Amino acid sequence: MTAGVDYLRAYETPRFAQLAPNLTAACFSLMKLMPARFMVDRAEASGRLEREGHIIETTSGTFGLAIALLAAVRGYGLTLVTASSLVDLKLKRRLEHLGAKVVAIDDPQGDGNQRGRLQYLQKTLQDNPDTYWPRQYDSPENRLAYARLADLVVRSLGRVDCLVGCVGTGGSLCGTGGFLREIFPDLRIIAVDTHRSMLFGQPVGRRMLRGLGNSVLPDNVRHEMIDDIHWVGALPAYAMAHGLFRDQGLFMGPTSGAAALVAAWFARKNPEASTLVIMPDEGHRHSDTAYNPEWLANLKDWPISIPGEPTSLERIRPAGETAWTRFPWNRQTLGSVLAEFDGSLREDR
Q: What is the pLDDT confidence band of residue 78, given thresholds at 50, 70 and 90?
A: very high
What is the rounded CA–CA span in Å between residue 74 and residue 36? Answer: 13
pLDDT in tens, 316-344: 999 999 999 999 999 999 999 999 876 54
Give the Å distances, CA to CA, from 123 to 56, 126, 133.
Answer: 11, 5, 12
Give the Å distances, CA to CA, from 274 to 23, 153, 159.
Answer: 6, 12, 7
Averaged pLDDT, 105-124: 85
Averaged pLDDT, 250-270: 97
Q: Confirm or reject CATH 3.40.50.1100 for domain 7-31+139-338, answering yes or no.
A: yes
pLDDT at position 3: 44
Whole-structure pTM value: 0.92
At the top level of CATH, which class does the domain 51-129 belong to?
Answer: alpha beta
Inter-residue contact 175 to 146 (CB < 8 Å): yes
Give the Å distances, CA to CA, from 223 to 24, 330, 331.
Answer: 24, 9, 6
Q: What percentage of the chain has pLDDT greater than the value 90?
A: 79
Alpha helices in the chain (DSSP H): 2-9, 33-46, 62-74, 89-97, 114-127, 140-144, 147-157, 171-183, 234-248, 254-269, 293-297, 334-341
Q: What is the pLDDT confidence band of residue 112, given thresholds at 50, 70 and 90?
A: confident
- Pinpoint the residues of the chain covered by CATH 3.40.50.1100: 7-31+139-338, 51-129
